[in-house]
Amino acid sequence: MSRTAPEIALELSDRAALERLARSHNTPQGLANRARIVLAAAEGLSNQQIAERLHISNITVGKWRTSYHHWGISGLQGFKPTGRPSKYNSKLEQRLRSLLCQRPWNGKRRWTVRVLARHLDIPPATLFAFQILLGVVFGIWGLALALPLMAIAKVMIDHFKAEEAVPAATATA
């Protein structure tokens, strides 16, 4: 029994949206490439021809072609990565934020990784990884600013997630 790729027939609105995604400089490249796959499939090209044109594997082309066929443009967004869930939850994040807003209890002017990790009951390496990452990017200032920047970034991410959740909740209501 041979398998055939699903036929892709695009409506004008879908074609315009896919072309916009494929051309935009702000679109993540994975999503732009998926849009190019669907546009090429709508031209009637086979998976092999699309793979050669876009320099990707046949399996990737088939995966995103089928995903678009079943779920439309929303099927091109990708899937949540699988893997082990985080062992640090939002309660730990709240404790970290509250500690960073206070002065250290040991009489020092700043939190150290060891003292902060001890208060949070997590390995110092977990906190130190953020400092290393920021130290590579920003030099010595990254090491000094890692913990405050981590807290600020986390607050901003939570804020944007909350803003995204509000329109989604109002759209379903």
Residue 98 and residue 90: Cα distance in Å, rounded? 12
> Which pLDDT value is given to residue 134?
47
What integer pLDDT is reported at residue 152 of this predicted model?
67
Helices (H), 43-74: 47-54, 58-71
Label residue 79 exposed, middle or buried (CB < 10 Å: 0-12, 13-18, 19+).
exposed
Q: 92 and 120 in contact (C-beta within 8 Å)?
A: yes
* Amino acid symbol at 20: R
Q: pTM of the full predicted structure? A: 0.49
Is the distance from CB of 51 to CB of 57 less than 8 angstroms? yes
The number of residues in the chain equals 173
pLDDT at 1: 44
pLDDT-flagged residues of the chain (< 70): 1-2, 81, 86-90, 93, 97, 127-173
Instruction: Spell out where 6-48 has E strands.
Output: none
